[in-house]
Structure 1
Amino acid sequence: MRIAYFDCLSGISGDMTLGALVDAGASLQRIVEGVRSLGLGELQITADEVRKCGFRAVQITITHPPEHAHRHLHHIEAMIDQADAITAEGKRRAREIFSALAAAEAKVHGSTIQKVHFHEVGAIDSIADIVGTAIALDDLGIDAVEASAVPTGTGFIEIAHGRVSIPAPATAELLCGIPLAPSDTPIELTTPTGAAILKASSRRFGSVPAMTTQTVGYGAGQKDIEGQANVLRVLIGEVVTAPEAAELDYDRVTILETNIDNTTAEDLAAAAESLLDAGALDVIQTPCVMKKGRSGVLLTVLCPDGRANELEQLLFMATGTIGVRRLRAERHKLPRREATRETALGPIQGKESRLPDGTWRFALEYEDARAIAANRNLTVHQVRRAVRSEE
């Protein structure tokens, strides 16, 4: 599998993405021909080598006649569909990016995808950045895109609707579900165009995957940042998987930890139940010996990133802790699905997970097993044994 990994140290924008892909080997000529076939008039795309904080990178410049058009999604999709110098795969990628943008704009403005019109991202240079990126990914033969956590920058910018905070409203909406990296840089590091490219294209966010890197490209941002290269780096290479291996799912979670020696077992059990009801993925109690030889409990809460603050507050309220540690973790998960097994007790519902060798493993949830056992006057062990006998 050929992969593109975007290292977003200084954020991501459309021109940075296009510059990085061109630097990594994408054909600038094919990109120009494809973008020109959209029917946008005389348009030039140049790629120049520049220095950013001492490091070389490719900076994309797009020049075109002045215009004042505000386009809707269907206008842009029609332009993409009629373009005769863009492959079917390139068109698919471009439409997905614009669809992600339209959904974000519609949410922000309380409109619909059909009615919302693009301002900044409907301009020729933004269209060229997005369509050019789609063409470049196709030209490089990229099967999958992954990326690091994304910094947004801080401060304020002026857009068509006035002065707004960074990240801009559409950018913030597009970045929902994407891990953000801390940044106090007082400029807009991630633009709506860059966020849309990641939203529509990236299957995973986290550290660099296990891959054999074949080429590295650097795309330059327009501004200079003191003490930091304003560049987007892309690593292109191969991820080798067995032909029949199950592809793992990925996500990122927050781990909350605290050591407790001043809360009763009953209160800890109630706290664990409250945490699970509030959205924790798991709550684990591990006996430990704390300072001064006192017995205690290491309470570990696994939670989605977006629920970490709420669950941390609940920890403080429901236990005697005075401090909570936070850790970020990347999870690899087996693909899973709902399934039914025919057994001597009749059909039984459960879940199947696909193992790395491609086979499926059936698991019966405890609560389901207990309900079946109660209904049939059996033990949970007997129910599980009936399921195993059918494997």
Structure 2
Amino acid sequence: MRILYYDCFAGISGDMNLGAMIDLGVDAGYLKNELSKLNIEGFHLEVKTDQRRGITGIKADVVIENPDNEKHRHLRHVEEIVNNSSLSDAVKTNALKIFRLIAEAEAKVHNIEIQKVHFHEVGALDSIADIVGAAICLDWLKVDKVMASPIQLGGGTVKCAHGIMPVPAPATALIVEGLPVKAGLVNHEATTPTGAAILAAMVDEFSTQIDLPIAKTAYGIGNRDAEVANVLRVYLLDDHSAETDVETVEAVLLESNIDDMNPEHYDFILNQLFETGASDAWLTPIIMKKSRPAVMLSVLCGPKTVEQVKTIVFTHSTSLGIRERRIKKHMLHRQEIEVEINLGKVRVKQSYYQGRLLKSKPEADDCKRLALENGITLREVERMVINQLEG
């Protein structure tokens, strides 16, 4: 199991995050190439080794090539740039989630509609690169979970487009609502709105407990040379021994009782749920009040896809409410191999427990295809695969 852990003892900003990710192992050339897929000109990424208070790390700066021509964009402009790019769907989804968190906060601070928010900071090229870059780096790392310590906000005041503001800035304060924070370590803005939104969008769990071995420590260097080292520390936690054991992940179970919907619509909803990333979804016959027969729709998903799942259930069903429960999911370590029989190739999923192979399950779609092509039963194909494995 691999976990990315943010140790935000001195706060976090967009550029500190990029530096930390590169120091952790994300290839800088890959990051630059992926950012070029935004198809916008006027910036480039500079990466160098730097130090703060004796701590060495990576300083990543998004350099604006012609600041006088810099545009300030609204949310829809940013969404168009991201959606029209050739970035992966996972990167687009995470980047837009971060942008939207900031837009919602700014809209609430200024009491305006979200699409009327004029992005003074996050609509600029450097913030677009910081936010999209954060999504690119997370996708590159392929971790199973993201965790973070309480967020250090800092103290004093900060100068922004609207004047002098208290720390945390109003938008930052809204973004971190409900998250564990600390304040007062330094007399400046330790966590920016961009840094706060990256954590709010990407972190699965906030905790001071680290239970897995630290495989690597990395540092992203900030702009300040303060008494407290202006760095973002990140850890890569990697437990190789768990690869043959049980993996435990955070999951969310969403349930809704439905008694007034056309049964033909359930297939459509289930397909939509799986396409959006639900790990499982099922229907259970139940009896509701007044002895009415009904169906309970259950969806199992990761914390990051909860809102998308809720949108599908509310939009495409007659449900008026959803129950939500945070649970832990325990999964056997699995791998997929390919087995060659005289009829063709069949994929096989194998599961392990404590280093021992427990089960081998031929892929049903492959077996069905070979059974139909050769005019034999499904059982015969499965038996051939099992015999090949045991032989």
Q: 2: distance between equivalents of 1:87 and 1:198?
A: 20
CA contact (8 A) 2:251 2:326 kept: no
CA distance, structure 1, for counterparts of residue 73 and residue 42 of structure 2? 18
> Partner of 2:31 in structure 1?
31
Partner residue of 1:20? 20
Q: How far does the alpha carbon of each residue in 1:39-89 deviate from its partner, in whole angstroms, 9 at most, with x for none?
A: 3214221111111101101111221222342211111111111222x2221
- Partner of residue 158, structure 2: 157
| Aligned residue number for residue 72 of structure 2 | 70
AA in 1 matched with 2:214: T
Over the matched positions of the two proteins, sequence identity in percent amounts to 38
Aligned mates of 2:100, 2:94 — CA distance in 1: 10
1:332 — aligned with what?
A: none
Shift of 1:248: 5.0
| Cα distance in 2 for residues equivalent to 1:341 and 1:214 | 48
CA distance in 2, matches of 1:249, 1:2: 16
What CA distance in whole angstroms lies between the structure 2 residues aligned with 1:232 and 1:355?
Answer: 29
In the superposition, relative to structure 1, how do residues 206 and 351 fare at CA in structure 2: closer, same or farther (>3 Å)?
Answer: closer
After TM superposition, list the pairs within 5 Å mapping 1:311-322 onto structure 2. none
Q: Secondary structure at the match of 1:98?
A: helix
User: 1:152-204, CA deviations, whole angstroms, 9 ceiling, x for partnerless residues?
Assistant: 11111111111110100101110101111232411110000000001111111
**Residue in structure 2 matched with residue 236 of structure 1 by the alignment:** 236
Residue segments in structure 2 that go unaligned for 5+ positions in a row: 253-283, 293-322, 332-391
AA matched with 2:147: E
Aligned to 2:137: 136
Aligned partner of 1:211 in structure 2 is: 212
- 1:187 aligned onto 2:195: no
What does residue 367 of structure 2 align with?
none
**Shift of residue 222 of structure 1?**
0.3
> Alpha carbon RMSD of aligned pairs, Å?
3.1
The match for 1:95 is 96
Is the contact made by 1:2 and 1:236 (CA closer than 8 Å) also made in structure 2?
Answer: yes
In structure 1, the partner of 2:81 is 79
Q: Tell me, what secondary structure is at the counterpart of 1:122?
A: coil
Tell me the distance in 1 between the aligned counterparts of 2:199 and 2:46: 23
Tell me, in whole angstroms, the C-alpha distance in 1 between the residues paired with 2:3 and 2:124.
29
TM-score, normalised to structure 2, is 0.62
Q: Structure 1 unaligned segments of length 5 or more: list them.
A: 251-338, 359-391
The answer to whether 1:122 aligns with 2:123 is: yes
The one-letter code of the counterpart of 2:79 is: E
Q: Is the 8 A contact 2:155 2:183 kept in 1?
A: no
- 8 Å CA contact 1:2, 1:142 repeated in 2: yes
TM-score normalized by structure 1?
0.62
